């Protein structure tokens, strides 16, 4: 089964905001767990989630996993993103689309915080 992962970022118009996105996407691709790795943005940048799903389908993905790169359980995570994913699922019933918890809910995030705090000189 050809699997794809889409990392869904909030999006920003700020200059240089895409650098972190590029680093994350590049590293996820390098590790090779997914045949297809794509980014998407909820607002203020492109591609949007619909476009990234279309890209994955064009690359013959059979399953798409959407990972929200959000830290808090605000309205985007609890309402906007699930609604958008449901709409995309409805329009693409031949593809399995899974939505994960947001990055901020992952227990290893505490380790990241501690690592960052301990390397400060």
Q: What is the CATH number of the domain that holds 81?
A: 3.40.50.1400
Domain count, the chain: 1
- The parent domain of residue 22 ranges over 3-119
pLDDT of 121 over the 80 cut: no
- pLDDT digit string, tens, across residues 34-45: 999 999 999 999
CB neighbours of residue 38 within 10 Å: 24
Q: What is the pLDDT of residue 17?
A: 84
Residue 6 dihedral angles phi and psi, to the nearest 5°:
-115, 120
Both tokens of residue 86?
């449901």
pLDDT of residue 1: 80
């Amino acid at each position: 089964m050809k699997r794809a992962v889409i990392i869904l970022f909030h999006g920003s118009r700020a200059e240089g905001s895409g650098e972190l996105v590029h680093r994350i996407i590049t590293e996820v691709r390098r590790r090779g767990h997914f045949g297809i790795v794509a980014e998407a943005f909820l607002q203020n940048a492109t591609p949007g989630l619909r476009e990234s799903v279309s890209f994955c389908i064009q690359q013959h993905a059979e399953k798409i996993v959407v990972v929200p790169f959000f830290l808090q359980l605000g309205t985007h995570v609890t309402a906007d993103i699930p609604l958008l994913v449901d709409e995309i699922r409805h329009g693409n019933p031949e593809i399995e689309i899974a939505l994960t918890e947001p990055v901020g809910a992952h227990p290893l995030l505490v380790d990241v915080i501690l690592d960052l705090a301990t390397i400060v000189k």
